[in-house]
Structure 1
Amino acid sequence: MPAAEPGRRAALLLGMALLGGCGGGLITTVGPDYGEPAVPAAPRWQAPQPDVPRAHGGDPASLKRWWDRFDDRVLARFLAAAQRESASVAEARSRIDEARAGMVGAIAAGLPNLNSQTDFVRQEGSFGGPVFEWTRYQTGLQSSWEIDLFGGIARQREAALSQLDARTDAWHDARVAVAVEVANAYLGYRHCQALVNIAAADAASRRASARLVEVAGQVGLRAPADVALSQASAADGQELLARQHGVCERAVKSLVALTGLGEAEVRHRLTAQPGQLARLPEPPPFRLGGIPARALMQRPDVAAAERQVAEASASIGVEEAKRYPRLSLSGNVTPTLQSINGAALYLAHTWQIGPTLTLPIFDAGKRAADVEAARARYEASASKFRATVRTAVKEVEDALVRLHNAEERLPEARAAVRGYRDNFRATDQLYRIGLGNLIDVEASRRQALNAERTVADLEQERVSAWIALYRAAGGGWEDSDNHALAGAPGAGEAARPAAGTTENPS
């Protein structure tokens, strides 16, 4: 046989392995081919959608820039700070790095590896005669390459890519979750300040009434019982105001913890513009377009769950391939310099190359059990995906119901405020001219106060429902710098668009 023949055969084998390994195994690819699971969702949304004007034809727009359209710089600053400081976002980012490292390992498993080893040995010995000294300098290159006969390595790459996609989606979900948490905390503070304003106006009214009743009591125009009741009402108003201030203080502490900003900076930003102190952020309205199944797949958590199903499917093939023969090609080149008893060094070298075929014969059922375990993990992942979709449907429907209910109740609540205010003014006037009693005045005051608080609560609920709908619809988050995904882990290869099935009036 010519000396070059083994080399040509090896090159042919390597070429065949390359061609076969591009899309699967050299012989076949075992394990199931993945198909996206069906999304268990109704053909249309059941809850009524908000009546949003569709300016300019209602061109579809992404929700990624939704926060910027609040036109609230304080909220935008808090959102950006929280993204940098969030431990959950940092953890999700680190898991992407882990998945990327796993992807590198999966790719490397299908490529040749090359190692080098160098050693120096000096020894003395004899074989029943004079002692001799032997010196050796040796270096070598070793290489091995597993040929993917049955697609196990290809399935490993498939699983690694699905894992990277899933963790990138989880990172997007963590960012959205942080944005929603900060927005709700900010909304809670603004709502709290609105309640402070209501409580402050009520406390001032009670103090003014108490002073008038006290003066009238001093000259005998009001009974001591009325004086005591008016003073108790004024104290009750002050207590309610102080309690509301305490709630607002706790809201400030929450924003400090979420954003990582100093408390002085948080307070300055919240109070720098007195006109906005009790002004709730105004959410940009949008409508959910398309069928629910398509809209839900834009949610990062649903997309991540689907990618986990794909990873589990590929893992079945990885375990199945272990039940079949494995072929690897290995070789080494080892030049050696050696000398005996200090004589001149002389060179000797060896090389070898050849295939190794490993046949699984008996393992007491371990490999078969591993395949069954992989199938069980696949079923669990598919079940988790369906549960995630059902939860997503519930969240969308809940948010739509909350929004519809708040917008339906607000006009009636505002009308009730006007009526109770008129009733309080009339009752108070009657009492001032001596035709009424203070008990009726205070009862009317409480009704008006409760009505005003109800309106403030409904306005807060309306904005909170919009935020919940934004997240449930799969909204994304971007910095106000225009580059939310700049430098994002995995953004180049695994990021997918969010909320591509929304309509937002421009």
Structure 2
Amino acid sequence: MNSSLSLTWGVLTAAVLAGCATIEQAPTLGSADAPVATQWHAPRAHGGELVDLAQWWGQFDDPLMLRLIQDGQDASATLSQAIARIADAQAARVSGLAALLPSLDGAIESSRGRSEVAAPVGSMASVGLQASWELDIFGANRAGAGAAQAQLEASLAEWHDARVSVAAEIATTYVEFRACEAQAVQAELDAQSRNETARLTDLMAASGFQSPAEADLARASAAQGRVSLAEQHAQCEYLIKSLVALTARNEVALRRDLDAASARMPQPAEFVVATLPAQVLAQRPDIFAAARDVVTASAESVQAQALRWPRVTLSGEVGRTRVSEQGSVSTSGTVWSVGPVAVTVPLFDAGTRRANAEAAQVRYDVAKVVYADRLRNAIREVETALVSLQSTAARSDNARDAAEGFERSFQAFEARYRSGNASLFELEDARRSRVNAQISFIELQREHVTSWITLYRAVGGGWSSAALDDITGL
């Protein structure tokens, strides 16, 4: 009796000690565990409006881009893998919750034979239920269920983050292609101008009005223009191949759709960024997932500690049994039992459980460091995008004026050259200035649109943690 009391007392004492370990909640933005700046240090975009970021891609003035994004998301291996991780997390969650409940099995038995040499042949049949329940005094199963729940929430958030990443990659590639087309148009015009200059120079050289050296220079310039045009076309071809791979579209059909709106840069709906950084970070699925990773690691640490303590299991069964023997009256009735109550005490495992608990604690500490690092990177991404937007907007008017001014200058030099009042060297210098200004302006337009795409991704892509309630039923 004394030994039984001692064992019971030991189990209760261990339960009290284990009860001190609790699962940490997700870090709160702005707390000591999740420090966030109280203000932006980059200028926020002006002129934006409050728009529905969840439908932001559809607010571009380019329906083709939206269709390409939808096709790419349907075909994305990254999204398929994210969906598979959600399925695994859901299965783990069901398993974790099931561990908190009794298990119930049905059993049907039937036998016929002679139990003794002189005994008559008899039959026995029974049907019953067998139940088993781990009492989870030390919270190992509760911690496992908590870890599974947090992992499910993280996987759902990561799925949305993957959707936004795929959409942003396709949109950026599409914008780059449109910019490439626009540059190809300028390269085509430049090559035609160079060819015409070479033709006129050859005629003037043949008439003695220009030197052979100038004719050679004009032909070299025309050849260089054709080289630049070929390089530009090749770059556009590379981008088409990228779009085919990203969207899984038939290349012939894709080219036909792209040609319908050639060299047109899509324009996004400009939006406002929340005043407080914490408001923006709360809308980022990757930050939410990282916070749930902290909860998961904490739960796994608690579970690993709890597995070092005894396990208490209660079992029982109930059933209906019928026994009959030849020449005898059959008997039947209900049989049941409760117990045994089994206490499994870990005595020696060569330090395995202790090592697992220590490793789980280290993973928890690492998860907190990773979370803080993601917060810093998230702030950097948003502020970098804001700086890029401000920079491209500030340069836009000057770049447009430069392109228009160099265009007028080139036309003036071209007219003077044809009348013999300007040298070929002056004309080529004006041409280079015009081409560089046009390319810079197109690049600036591309950079401005991609900066909006980058900012959209940096602020979470229209995600909200409230969406998890609809999916998981929390």
TM-score by length of 1: 0.82
Alignment deviations for residues 279-329 of structure 1 (CA, whole Å, 9 cap, x no partner): 211121122113212311211111100011011112222223223343322
Separation of aligned partners in 2, 1:300 and 1:395: 14
Q: Counterpart of 1:369 in 2: which secondary structure?
A: helix
Instruction: Find the counterpart in structure 1 of residue 448 from structure 2.
Output: 462
Q: Counterpart of 2:268 in 1: which secondary structure?
A: coil
1:186 matches 2:181: no
Deviation at 1:258, TM superposition (A): 0.8
Deviation at 1:344, TM superposition (A): 7.3
Instruction: Find the counterpart in structure 2 of residue 388 from structure 1.
Output: 374
Deviation at 1:140, TM superposition (A): 3.4
Deviation at 1:455, TM superposition (A): 0.6
Unpaired segments ≥5 residues, structure 1: 1-24, 479-484, 496-506
Separation of aligned partners in 2, 1:166 and 1:320: 23
- 1:245–1:331 Cα change, 3 Å: same
Across the aligned residues of Structure 1 and Structure 2, the Cα RMSD in angstroms comes to 2.7
Deviation at 1:362, TM superposition (A): 1.9
**1:196-207 correspondence to structure 2 within 5 Å:** 196-207=184-195
**Residue of structure 2 aligned with 1:223, choices 195, 208, 211:** 211
Instruction: Find the counterpart in structure 2 of residue 326 from structure 1.
Output: 311
**Residue of structure 2 aligned with 1:43, choices 35, 38, 63:** 38
Separation of aligned partners in 1, 2:213 and 2:267: 47
**How many pairs align?**
453
Deviation at 1:62, TM superposition (A): 4.0
Contact 2:153–2:468 (8 Å) recurs in 1: no
**Residue of structure 2 aligned with 1:64, choices 54, 68, 75:** 54
Deviates more, 1:224-233 or 1:257-266: 224-233
Instruction: Find the counterpart in structure 1 of residue 283 from structure 2.
Output: 298
Instruction: Find the counterpart in structure 2 of residue 259 from structure 1.
Output: 247
Q: Alignment identity in percent?
A: 38
Separation of aligned partners in 1, 2:473 and 2:453: 26
- 1:64–1:189 Cα change, 3 Å: same
Q: Which amino acid aligns with 2:315?
A: S
Deviation at 1:494, TM superposition (A): 7.3
Contact 2:18–2:306 (8 Å) recurs in 1: no
Q: Which has the higher helix share?
A: 2
Instruction: Find the counterpart in structure 2 of residue 34 from structure 1.
Output: 24
1:374 matches 2:369: no
Instruction: Find the counterpart in structure 1 of residue 420 from structure 2.
Output: 434
Instruction: Find the counterpart in structure 2 of residue 146 from structure 1.
Output: 134
- 1:262–1:460 Cα change, 3 Å: same
Deviation at 1:122, TM superposition (A): 4.6
Q: Counterpart of 1:352 in 2: which secondary structure?
A: strand
Contact 1:168–1:490 (8 Å) recurs in 2: no
**Residue of structure 2 aligned with 1:99, choices 77, 89, 99:** 89
Instruction: Find the counterpart in structure 2 of residue 443 from structure 1.
Output: 429
Instruction: Find the counterpart in structure 2 of residue 113 from structure 1.
Output: 103
Separation of aligned partners in 1, 2:189 and 2:439: 12
Separation of aligned partners in 2, 1:327 and 1:361: 12
Deviation at 1:96, TM superposition (A): 0.7
Q: Counterpart of 1:288 in 2: which secondary structure?
A: coil
Unpaired segments ≥5 residues, structure 2: 1-14, 28-32
Instruction: Find the counterpart in structure 2 of residue 476 from structure 1.
Output: 462
Contact 2:23–2:295 (8 Å) recurs in 1: no
- 1:361–1:178 Cα change, 3 Å: closer
Contact 1:30–1:150 (8 Å) recurs in 2: no
Separation of aligned partners in 1, 2:432 and 2:322: 102
Deviation at 1:343, TM superposition (A): 7.2
Instruction: Find the counterpart in structure 1 of residue 395 from structure 2.
Output: 409
Instruction: Find the counterpart in structure 1 of residue 154 from structure 2.
Output: 166
Separation of aligned partners in 1, 2:197 and 2:166: 46
Instruction: Find the counterpart in structure 2 of residue 88 from structure 1.
Output: 78
- 1:343–1:235 Cα change, 3 Å: farther
Separation of aligned partners in 2, 1:234 and 1:192: 21
Instruction: Find the counterpart in structure 2 of residue 11 from structure 1.
Output: none
Q: Which amino acid aligns with 1:423?
A: S
Q: Which amino acid aligns with 1:329?
A: L
Deviation at 1:419, TM superposition (A): 2.8
**Residue of structure 2 aligned with 1:284, choices 269, 284, 296:** 269
Q: Which amino acid aligns with 1:174?
A: A
* Structure with larger RCO (C-alpha < 8 A, sep 6+): 1
- 1:423–1:489 Cα change, 3 Å: same
Contact 1:93–1:171 (8 Å) recurs in 2: yes
Contact 1:122–1:135 (8 Å) recurs in 2: yes
Q: Counterpart of 1:458 in 2: which secondary structure?
A: helix
**Residue of structure 2 aligned with 1:209, choices 181, 192, 197:** 197
Separation of aligned partners in 1, 2:252 and 2:359: 55
Q: Counterpart of 2:314 in 1: which secondary structure?
A: strand
Deviation at 1:143, TM superposition (A): 0.7
Deviation at 1:252, TM superposition (A): 1.2
Q: Which amino acid aligns with 2:355?
A: A
Contact 1:159–1:311 (8 Å) recurs in 2: yes
Contact 1:26–1:151 (8 Å) recurs in 2: no
Alignment deviations for residues 61-96 of structure 1 (CA, whole Å, 9 cap, x no partner): 441111111131101101111111111111101111
Separation of aligned partners in 1, 2:446 and 2:436: 15
Q: Counterpart of 1:333 in 2: which secondary structure?
A: strand
TM-score by length of 2: 0.88
Separation of aligned partners in 2, 1:222 and 1:378: 80
Separation of aligned partners in 1, 2:110 and 2:64: 68
Deviation at 1:470, TM superposition (A): 0.8
Q: Counterpart of 1:142 in 2: which secondary structure?
A: strand
Deviation at 1:388, TM superposition (A): 0.9
Deviation at 1:168, TM superposition (A): 0.4
Q: Counterpart of 1:332 in 2: which secondary structure?
A: strand
Alignment deviations for residues 375-431 of structure 1 (CA, whole Å, 9 cap, x no partner): 111111111111111111111121112222222222222222233223322322332
